Amino acid sequence: MGSPKFLVVDDSVTMRRIIINALRAIGYDNLIEAEDGQDALQKLLDKGADFVIADWNMPEMTGLELASWIRGNGFFSRLPILMITTRGSKDDVLKARGAEINDYILKPFSPQSLKEKIDKILKSTEPKNA
Ligand SMILES: [Mg+2]
């Protein structure tokens, strides 16, 4: 696989810019974006993606609902999902695990910490013995 295609999902335009700028800063330039979970589903179906970075709190469809849809979809079920959230309570972490996201990162974050999360996920999801 070449440079993975990232789908960046956040209802805040400012936050999307921050995430996209951070991704560009760490060398990723194959990027598409969506403004909520519902929009993300449509973008996934229309354009596909290799990696989803999603906000937790969004109107229409939350990040957790989006993650549940992805995990329940035969074609996209193994798509890496990194959740971005300001929430870090134990309950929320457990809910996130229930939705089978790969990892989460708390706002605000540095490009370097984003890179570390992405590298860890890509390493854990790459095919073994390939
Ligand atoms: Mg939000």
- Cα(1) to centroid(ligand 1), Å: 31
CATH 3.40.30.10 fits 6-123, yes or no: no
- Cα(11) to centroid(ligand 1), Å: 5
Please state, rounded to an integer, the average pLDDT across all residues of the chain. Answer: 90
- Cα(85) to centroid(ligand 1), Å: 8
Among 1, 93, 80, 91, smallest CA distance to 44 is for: 80
Q: Where residue 3 falls among pLDDT bands split at 50, 70, 90?
A: confident
**Type and span of the H or E element at 18:** helix 13-25
Sketch the domain layout of the chain as residue ranges: 6-123
- Cα(128) to centroid(ligand 1), Å: 35
Residue 97, pLDDT above cutoff 60? yes
pTM: 0.91
> What is the spatial distance between Cα 46 and Cα 15, in angstroms, rounded to a whole number?
23
Residue 4, pLDDT above cutoff 90? yes
Which amino acid, one-letter code, is at 103? D
CB-facing half-sphere around the CA of 42: CA atoms within 13 A: 9
Identify the bridge partners of residue 1 per DSSP, sorted by sequence position: none
Identify the bridge partners of residue 104 per DSSP, sorted by sequence position: 83
Which amino acid, one-letter code, is at 75? F
Decide which of 1 and 11 is more confident.
11
Residue 38: which residues within 8 A CB-CB, separation 6 or more? 60, 61
